[in-house]
Amino acid sequence: MWSRIERGTARLISEWGAASGDTIAYWGQGHQDALSLYFAAARCGIRLLPLEHASLRENATALLRQHRVAVLLHDDDIAVETLPAASFVPRIARLSSLVATRCHHYPPVDEKASVPSLILPADVQTPRSLLQLTEGITDVAATHTFRVTAALFDDDVFAPCVLPVLAAGGTILFR
């Protein structure tokens, strides 16, 4: 997992030109590599706009323009032609390309937990930091398992279920 996060961080910054304060978007449905994307973005202060729900996808063009998305990553089974941003998002890439191959860059990373980097829901103007997302997490048994069956970044799934299981060394199963 850590090597995927490092590759993702290097690719976002050094290959794809994303910088602290930029916004990237995820167009997919709860893929396991989206978790690596989340932590890679958090390492370098990049905001994440998850477009997993149909309601957000209906307004995707406006959201992508409003947040000036620098990179749009999508699940492999989604055709690029179906994405609304081909004309104005500088970089569109498959989510698997974030971690699939070796990245020869090693970006400078300033890991500050106080940076308000993630997640940027469509209905919230101020991004929430990793610290805000993890506030109130209680201890979860390390043997705890959680299955992600749909949207990974749901408000009622990610902070209360996914993060505590990871913090306790539990297991996350995808689909």
Task: Give the residue from 40, 41, 44 showing the smallest Cα distance to 5.
Answer: 40
118 phi and psi angles, rounded to 5 deg? -135, 165
CA distance 99 to 76: 13
C-beta separation of 162 from 146 below 8 A: yes
C-beta separation of 21 from 47 below 8 A: yes
C-beta separation of 72 from 27 below 8 A: yes
**Would you state the torsion angle of the CA atoms of residues 120, 123, 125, 126, taken in this order, to the nearest 10 degrees?**
-50
- In 23-90, DSSP assigns E strands to 23-27, 47-50, 69-74
CA distance 128 to 107: 24
Architecture of the domain delimited by 2-125: 3-Layer(aba) Sandwich (3.40)
Q: What tens-digit pLDDT sequence spans the chain (175 residues)?
A: 888 888 888 889 888 999 988 999 999 988 889 999 998 998 888 899 998 888 888 888 888 888 899 999 999 988 888 888 767 889 999 999 988 776 666 656 665 555 544 554 445 444 455 555 555 555 544 457 888 888 888 877 887 888 888 877 888 888 7
